[in-house]
Amino acid sequence: MPIIELFSYEFMQRAYVAGIAVAIVCPLIGVFLVLRRLSLLADGLGHVTFAGLAAGFLFGIYPLFAALIAAIIGAVGIERIRTRGRIAGDAAIAMFYTAGLAVGVVLVSRAGGFNVNVLGYLFGSIAAVALPDLFTVLALAAIVVALIAVFYKELLFLTFDEASARAAGLPAGGVNILLSALAAVTTVAAMRIVGLLLVSSLMVLPALTAIRLASSFRQTLGLAVAAALIAVLVGLTASFYLDTAPGGTIVLVALALFGLASLWEGRRAQA
């Protein structure tokens, strides 16, 4: 089938639009997470979000809404435990990660088990992006992009050198919670396309790719978005033709881009 016909399918149109929004927003958050050594936060949040989603199914709440609430609670919770310092950051994430999965599995089993609907959230499903979902994804993405733009300088300074940023009087605590909350919102926005279990890779891989290549921070953000856009567009299209799961296909493309960037950087370093 020629590629132009792909766009005649309404579900593909919706998938592409949602995919583009996700490809813009995930790496923007991802760059900050990776540089703050919080790459696993997105993974942890994905699992906590699963608990919310399951609760949504069980109690008949709009799943994306239930997921959003759970994700934000998880984000703030992880951040608080992390900064209190009694539990190390990675342990705090691990705790929420497994707790989210456990609660999710229990609730899902009560709600009728792992059906196609649940799997669609876990692994992503382009055919399932209904119109209300699309609007929700676009709204969430717009909120995240706007807040990153507004707090760009605080996020940058705190990410680069937290001690100096605190000493200069920047509101570190508030900005850290904001970053976690934005990661939570992003997780929910992206889960329809790449799936909860793979959300983190769309944040982390393009960021890692860009960090290898860029010479400035602004360029890092730009390159990360570019890498994610390529991954999502190529991945979605390929998944349609190859009849593969879109989430996994997208992540494999992102991984390939990272591999190429590493090769290129290695050659440049030798030269």
Our finding on whether 170 is near another protein (CB under 8 A) is yes
Considering only 154, 186, 193, 253, the residue that binds another protein (CB under 8 A) is: 154
Q: CB neighbours (10 Å) of residue 178?
A: 20
> Nearest distance from residue 208's CB to another protein, in Å?
10
> Nearest distance from residue 150's CB to another protein, in Å?
6
Asked if residue 191 lies in contact with residue 199, where contact means CB atoms within 8 angstroms, the answer is yes
Number of residues that bind another protein (CB under 8 A): 28
Q: Quick one: which H or E segment has residue 201? A: helix 199-213
Contacts (CB under 8 A) with another protein, residues 225-244: none
What is the DSSP code string of 2-60?
-HHHHTTSHHHHHHHHHHHHHHHHHHHHHHHHHHTT-HHHHHHHHHHHHHHHHHHHHHT
CA within 13 Å, CB half, 116: 5
Of residues 105 and 156, the one with the C-beta less far from another protein: 156
Stretch that binds another protein, among 57-65, 70-78, 118-126, 212-220 (CB under 8 A): 212-220
> Nearest distance from residue 226's CB to another protein, in Å?
14
Judging by beta carbons within 10 Å of its beta carbon (0-12, 13-18, 19+), is residue 145 exposed, middle or buried? middle
What is the rounded distance in angstroms from the CA atom of residue 89 to the CA atom of residue 140?
A: 26
Our finding on whether 150 is near another protein (CB under 8 A) is yes
Our finding on whether 161 is near another protein (CB under 8 A) is yes
Contacts (CB under 8 A) with another protein, residues 89-128: none
Q: Which residues lie near another protein (CB under 8 A)?
A: 35, 150-151, 153-154, 156-157, 160-171, 210-211, 214-220
